[in-house]
Chain A
Amino acid sequence: SAVISQKPSRDICQRGTSLTIQCQVDSQVTMMFWYRQQPGQSLTLIATANQGSEATYESGFVIDKFPISRPNLTFSTLTVSNMSPEDSSIYLCSVEPGQGNGYTFGSGTRLTVV
């Protein structure tokens, strides 16, 4: 199955700034997914990123707040823009399942906004 390198692993950011999270996959994948996990809650899908097209956002998430890039089949970034303390969460990327391999997730980015 695919291996994902996600960075940074954690960061503490000032209110009003932006943070870009990167995910690098060791194989080519068509779709990548970005998730948020708020404290004490399960994962919520933010958006689905296909190479060569704009990301598809879930209800409650907008491109201006969470712009996503997908420049090629092995890499994607998620930016958390104009951050507030409510954005403090773990952010994870995931790739589409291979044949019988299930979903693979990055190790997550723990974001704290102060």
Chain B
Amino acid sequence: KQEVTQIPAALSVPEGENLVLNCSFTDSAIYNLQWFRQDPGKGLTSLLLIQSSQREQTSGRLNASLDKSSGRSTLYIAASQPGDSATYLCAVSRGNQFYFGTGTSLTVIP
């Protein structure tokens, strides 16, 4: 069974700092990897989707990479802002099944 792990579980950084969130998965036979943001008590907002044939995707200050062979993905956030404070989840999918990591809770301090 696919297991998805996110490290660190929580992260606190000063505003303006660049940061990296990590996601690892045990089964490299995936179709897609997706990064989401979740604000307290709310649903999920999709940030970036990386298909299995891709290595990275970029959107604004966000860059996500995927290394299937090592079972890892990273989400890079440049010039962090207080509005980036949220929980970040990665999810891997294969067919109709997909699996979520436990998330990284990010706090950006003004």
Contact = CB atoms under 8 A, between A and B. Distances in A.
Report, as a range, how many residues of chain A touch the other chain.
20 to 34
A4 B55 CA distance: 29
Report, as a range, how many residues of chain B touch the other chain.
20 to 34
B34 interface: yes
A109 to B, nearest CB: 9
B63 interface: no
A104 B51 contact: no
Contact of A42 (B32, B34, B89, B97): B89
A47 B62 CA distance: 32
Contacts of A97: 32, 49, 93
B49 A90 contact: no
Contacts of B69: none
Say whether chain B's binding surface is mostly helix, strand, loop, or mixed.
strand
A99 to B, nearest CB: 10
A42 B100 contact: yes
Given A102-B32, A103-B34, A103-B93, A43 B46 contact: no
Say whether chain A's binding surface is mostly helix, strand, loop, or mixed.
strand
Interface string B67-82: 0000000000000000
A31 interface: yes
B102 interface: yes
A110 B100 CA distance: 19
Contact of B41 (A90, A103, A105): A90
Interface of B: 32, 34, 36, 41-46, 49, 51, 89, 91, 93, 96-98, 100-103
List of 9 A-B pairs having minimum Cβ-Cβ separation, nearest first: A108-B43, A102-B49, A105-B44, A107-B43, A42-B100, A42-B102, A43-B100, A102-B34, A105-B43
